[in-house]
């Protein structure tokens, strides 16, 4: 981990709250002359490599999402250096994996604030990332 932060990982899932996290990442990147790595994850909890039709469908979806991500990055990151990353897998695991691989100096992500049964069933991705991340995590609270 290095300060100032030079590699900022920002997971995005296309909802408005994750875009707030991207805007926070952009401000930090401007202040530190950093690069924002915009990460989108196709949440898959099983190996699809043995199911060709399903794998092809996911690949086509990834291409469409990459185009959306490029537009979002242009709109929300302005003059900040950025790069698009995408991957399939369990979201928390993929975020930690990319943080290690880059290596990231900071992860900026939105916490959805699930409570009760929703949290019990779905778990907290932000909490899992916080527990296993190799670098600091800035958890931006979702607007209510």
Rounded Cα distance, 25 and 120, in Å: 29
Q: Length of the chain, please?
A: 144
Report mean pLDDT in 10-residue bins for the chain, 144 residues. Answer: 85 86 95 96 69 65 80 93 91 96 96 60 78 95 68
> How far apart are alpha carbons 112 and 20 in whole angstroms?
12
What the block records as the tokens of 42 is: 């196709």
Confidence (pLDDT) at 79: 92
For residue 102, give every residue at least 6 positions away whose Cβ sits within 8 Å of its Cβ, in sequence order, or none.
7, 9, 37
For residue 87, give Cα distances in angstroms to 24, 26, 123, 141: 22, 22, 20, 24
CATH class of 7-141: alpha beta
- Annotated domain spans of the chain: 7-141
Do residues 13 and 22 touch, judged by C-beta distance below 8 A?
no
pTM of the model: 0.84
pLDDT at 113: 63
Per the prediction, the chain carries an average pLDDT of 84
């Amino acid at each position: 981990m290095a300060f100032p932060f030079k590699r900022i990982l920002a997971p995005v899932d296309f909802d408005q709250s994750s875009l707030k996290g991207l805007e926070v990442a952009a401000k930090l990147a401007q202040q530190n002359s950093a690069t924002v790595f915009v990460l989108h994850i196709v949440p898959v909890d099983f190996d699809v490599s043995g199911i060709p039709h399903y794998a092809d469908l996911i690949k086509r979806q990834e291409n469409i999402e990459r185009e959306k991500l490029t537009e979002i990055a242009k709109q929300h990151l302005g003059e900040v250096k950025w790069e698009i990353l995408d991957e399939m897998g369990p979201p928390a695991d993929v975020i930690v994996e990319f943080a290690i691989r880059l290596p990231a100096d900071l992860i900026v992500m939105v916490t959805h604030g699930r409570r009760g049964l929703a949290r019990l069933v779905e778990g907290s991705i932000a909490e899992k990332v916080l527990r296993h991340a190799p670098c600091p995590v800035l958890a931006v609270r979702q607007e209510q």
